[in-house]
Amino acid sequence: MDNEDLFARSQQVIPGGVNSPVRAFRAVGGTPVFVRSASGAWLTDVEGRRYVDYVGSWGPMILGHAHPAVIEAVRAAAGLGLSFGAPTAGELELAQLLCRLVPGLEQVRLVSSGTEATMSAIRLARGFTGRNLVVKFEGCYHGHADALLVKAGSGALTFGQPSSAGVPAETTAHTVVLPYNDASALAAAFERMGDRIAAVIVEPIAGNVNLILPDAAFLQALVELTQRAGAVLILDEVMTGFRVGLHGAAGLYGITPDLVTLGKVVGGGMPLAAFGGRKDIMQCVSPLGPVYQAGTLSGNPVAVAAGLATLRLVQAAGFYDRLGALGARLVSGLTERARAAGVAFCAQSIGGMFGLYFAARPPASYTEVMACDQKAFNTFFHAILHEGVYFAPSAFEAGFVSAAHDDEALAHTFSAAERAFAALAS
Ligand X SMILES: *Cc1c(COP(=O)(O)O)cnc(C)c1O
- For the beta sheet containing 399-400, the strands, ordered from the edge strand earlier in sequence to the opposite edge, are 346-350, 353-357, 399-400
The stretch among 200-208, 212-220, 311-319, 355-363 that binds ligand X (CB under 6 A) is 200-208
Q: Pick the catalytic residue: 51, 180, 182, 264?
A: 264
Alpha-carbon distance values, 321 to 57, 241, 244, 246, 352 (Å): 22, 15, 10, 10, 10
Binding mask 228-257 for ligand X (x = CB under 6 A): --------x-xx------------------
- Are 160 and 152 a contacting pair, CB within 8 Å? yes
Contact with ligand X (CB under 6 A): which of 64, 114, 268, 301? 114
Cα-based angle 44, 373, 419 (whole degrees, multiple of 5): 45
* Cβ-Cβ contacts under 8 Å for 310 (sequence gap 6 or more): 62, 63, 67, 70, 242, 265, 266, 267, 268, 269
Closest CB 236 distance from ligand X, rounded Å: 4
- Burial of 57 per CB tally in 10 Å (0-12, 13-18, 19+): middle
236 in catalytic set: yes
First to last CA, the chain: 34
**Which is nearer to ligand X, 248 or 409 (by Cβ)?**
248
Per CB under 6 A, 118 contacts ligand X: yes
CA distance 193 to 14: 44
Per CB under 6 A, 298 contacts ligand X: no
**Which is nearer to ligand X, 104 or 418 (by Cβ)?**
104
Closest CB 144 distance from ligand X, rounded Å: 7
The stretch among 90-98, 138-146, 331-339, 367-375 that binds ligand X (CB under 6 A) is 138-146
Per CB under 6 A, 352 contacts ligand X: no
Contact with ligand X (CB under 6 A): which of 107, 115, 310, 348? 115
* Cβ-Cβ contacts under 8 Å for 23 (sequence gap 6 or more): 32, 393
Contact with ligand X (CB under 6 A): which of 53, 203, 258, 387? 203
The stretch among 38-46, 90-98, 109-117, 279-287 that binds ligand X (CB under 6 A) is 109-117
Closest CB 113 distance from ligand X, rounded Å: 4
CA distance 169 to 391: 35
CA distance 284 to 291: 6
Closest CB 240 distance from ligand X, rounded Å: 7
- Are 352 and 265 a contacting pair, CB within 8 Å? no
Per CB under 6 A, 113 contacts ligand X: yes
264 in catalytic set: yes
CA distance 345 to 354: 14
- For the beta sheet containing 389-390, the strands, ordered from the edge strand earlier in sequence to the opposite edge, are 35-39, 42-45, 50-53, 389-390
The stretch among 3-11, 110-118, 149-157, 332-340 that binds ligand X (CB under 6 A) is 110-118
Q: Is 136 helix (H, G, I), strand (E, B) or coil?
A: strand
**Which is nearer to ligand X, 131 or 142 (by Cβ)?**
142
Per CB under 6 A, 277 contacts ligand X: no
Q: Is 348 helix (H, G, I), strand (E, B) or coil?
A: strand
Closest CB 188 distance from ligand X, rounded Å: 25
Q: Pick the catalytic residue: 53, 182, 236, 258?
A: 236
Closest CB 294 distance from ligand X, rounded Å: 17
Closest CB 304 distance from ligand X, rounded Å: 16
Closest CB 47 distance from ligand X, rounded Å: 28
CA distance 256 to 250: 6
Residues 139-198 that bind ligand X (CB under 6 A): 141-143
180 in catalytic set: no
148 phi/psi in degrees, rounded to 5:
-105, -5
Per CB under 6 A, 378 contacts ligand X: no
Per CB under 6 A, 301 contacts ligand X: no
The binding site for ligand X (CB under 6 A) comprises 113-115, 118, 141-143, 203, 207-208, 236, 238-239, 263, 273
Residue positions annotated with a catalytic role:
141, 236, 264
